[in-house]
Amino acid sequence: MRYLAITSYRGTSYCGWQKQTVSKLPSIEESIEKVISRILSTDIKIYGSGRTDAGVHALGQTFHFDSPKELDIYKFSHSMNELLPDDIRILSLKAVEDIFHARFNAKAKTYIYKIKNSKVSDPFSNDLEYTLSQPLNIEKMVEASKLFIGEHNFQNFTSKDEDDANFVRNIFDIKITKENDNIVILMTGDGFMRYMVRMIVGNLIQVGLGKISKEHIEKELANFDRKPSSHKAPAQGLYLKEVIY
């Protein structure tokens, strides 16, 4: 039987979602696989909705796996959370059709990026947000963010080498809010390539700092001579909020 799980995790101590042969740090994927395999006494492979980079967090990452037997969902979830590290948690588990795929059936994803715009960082959340001491112009960032909404070729906003869809993705919405020193960027789209969210946020930060203009972003979106952006926001401020099916 096939099951779909929603998991949250703090990515600070991991090399990312996917297993890495060259990293000394564990991955989220292998940490979960080891626990499921232990409970079911057989090797289990899980399939995530996509990758998250080293240091990136998740509030609602999803994955599916096949079990050789029917599971008691409550007991199985409880057992997983008892065995998993404290920085990984299973939020929900449900049975799905055998043809379901956590990655290929996803219709949209929402990411959050957190910025603390303050001269003094918070020692209790340094790895959970990006602290930026220079003041940001939120109005200019909001105006520039509108350029990314819609269907565009994002080849200059990803490090991905090749793409079957020619780097074309559709961003449905970007919201930027500020409360005191805390800035939150919420971004929803039909799919995001490697470093795409971080490069978009990185460019919005540069606009907010007055180092580039929104016209610069327009040119990058229209430029078909590929040159990936050098503006990439740090990993620790990024969260995968939700995968929509």
Token match 């340094």: residue? 126
What's the distance, CA 97 to chain centroid?
A: 25
Q: Which of 43, 53, 122, 161 is catalytic?
A: 53
Q: DSSP readout, 92-137?
A: EEEEE-TT--TTTT--EEEEEEEEE-SSS--TTSTTTSEE--S---
Q: What torsion do the CA atoms of 216, 170, 240, 232 make, to the nearest 10 degrees?
A: -20
Nearest to 63 by CA among 108, 21, 26, 17: 17
Instruction: Identify whether 190 is a catalytic site residue.
Output: no
| Catalytic (active-site) positions | 53
